[in-house]
């Protein structure tokens, strides 16, 4: 059992629009407002995506700077993690350039993307070394037990610095209709994850059951409309904040502590920009 459970929120993602749910935030103002509501419900980290003029997913340094500035003004204690998700649009060089230009406190990196499906380990190694030196906190996104095996081996070989301890296990990415179950976590738990700071996120209506399974084994949680639009009972959620509220209620009902921003920063070792 973790001393305190960190709740990260992913309120929009790269693909969904307001046609999927009218409360899905698209603009920076909408994203910040939803982040504030999520923070009030118990979340301490915003997993942030920004959108272009056609509401498309973009890796835009200027938009990220605007979002981070708004968050610092309106929700100064909430941590912000930018994404480098390629969505088939961006090269690994463009992903890295975005992070190097911005130097954010936190970013997420899909390990298989940044290594070009493990064909460009040296390129990734140089970037990881830079991130460790500048103390940009990286959460490595892992979609399978095979991804986890690569992550562990890369740490052992020095391709990934030992200081990189944070990972996200994504459940259901390759499941039928993107519907995950808690059993999807089992292959990840068979890896050597004892020293890692790990989170679980899950596609589909069993999102909360999946992240609770992760918490039972010592992990943290990421929830939100990026992966799921429904409450545990199957009804459509009003917003990502309502998903956070549901998870927080279950955690506290079971006697668990929900991490506050200071605890989150300390647990993950995130510097202040």
pLDDT tens-place string over residues 40-54: 999 999 999 999 999
Mean pLDDT of the chain: 96
pLDDT in tens, 85-106: 999 999 999 999 999 999 999 9
Tracing tokens 């892992």 back to the chain, one arrives at 142
Is residue 156 within 8 Å of residue 186, measured between CB atoms?
Answer: no
For the chain, percent of residues with pLDDT exceeding 70: 98
**142 CB-near residues (< 8 Å, 6+ apart):** 111, 148, 151, 167, 168, 169, 170, 188
The whole-angstrom separation of Cα 94 and Cα 125 is 16
In whole angstroms, what separates CA 199 from the centre of its chain? 8
Domain 7-268 has CATH 3.20.20.70: yes
Check residue 176 and give its pLDDT.
Answer: 67
Return the domain boundaries, the chain.
7-268
Which residue from 197, 195, 210 is spatially nearest to 263, judged by alpha carbons? 197
Q: Is the pLDDT of residue 2 over 80?
A: no
- Average pLDDT over every residue of 165-178: 87
Enter the tokens of residue 53: 């003029």
Tell me: the pLDDT tens digits for 211-241?
999 999 999 999 999 999 999 999 999 999 9
Q: What DSSP string runs through 88-118?
A: TT--HHHHHHHHHHH--SEEEEEHHHHTTTT
CB atoms within 10 A of CB 174: 12
Q: What is the pLDDT of residue 193?
A: 94
DSSP symbols for 45-66: EEEE-EE-TTS-EE--HHHHHH
Per-residue pLDDT reduced to its tens digit, 146-171: 999 999 999 999 999 999 999 999 99
pLDDT score of 273:
75
In the chain, where do the E strands start and end?
Answer: 7-9, 45-48, 50-51, 57-58, 79-83, 106-110, 137-142, 166-171, 197-202, 220-223
Answer yes or no: is pLDDT of 1 > 70. Answer: no
Look at 194 and 251; give whichever has higher pLDDT: 251
- Identify the pLDDT of residue 175: 63
- At residue 3, the pLDDT reads 77
- Residue in the structure block whose two tokens are 């959108």: 51
| Mean pLDDT in residue range 123-134 | 98
């Amino acid at each position: 059992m973790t001393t305190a459970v960190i709740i990260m929120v992913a309120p929009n993602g790269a693909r969904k629009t307001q046609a999927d749910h009218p409360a899905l935030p698209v603009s920076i103002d909408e994203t910040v407002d939803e982040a504030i509501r999520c923070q009030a419900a118990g979340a301490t980290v915003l997993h942030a995506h920004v959108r272009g003029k056609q509401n498309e997913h973009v890796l835009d340094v200027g938009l990220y700077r605007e979002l981070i500035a708004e968050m610092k003004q309106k929700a100064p204690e909430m941590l912000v993690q930018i994404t480098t998700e390629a969505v088939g649009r961006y090269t690994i060089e463009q992903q890295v350039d975005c992070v190097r230009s911005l130097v954010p406190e936190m970013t997420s990196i899909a390990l298989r993307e940044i290594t070009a499906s493990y064909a460009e380990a040296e390129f990734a190694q140089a970037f990881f070394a830079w991130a460790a030196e500048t103390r940009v906190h990286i959460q490595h996104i892992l979609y399978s037990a095979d991804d986890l095996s690569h992550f562990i081996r890369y740490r052992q070989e020095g391709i990934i610095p030992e200081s990189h301890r944070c990972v996200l296990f994504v459940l259901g990415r390759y499941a039928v209709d993107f519907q995950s179950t808690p059993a999807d976590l089992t292959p990840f738990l068979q890896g050597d994850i004892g020293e890692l700071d790990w989170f679980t996120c899950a596609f589909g209506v069993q999102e909360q059951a999946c992240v609770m399974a992760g918490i039972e084994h010592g992990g943290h949680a990421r929830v939100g409309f990026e992966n799921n639009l429904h409450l545990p009972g199957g009804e459509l959620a009003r917003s990502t904040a309502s998903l956070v509220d549901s998870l927080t209620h279950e955690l506290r009902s079971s006697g668990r502590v929900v991490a506050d921003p200071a605890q989150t920063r300390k647990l993950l070792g995130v510097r202040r920009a």
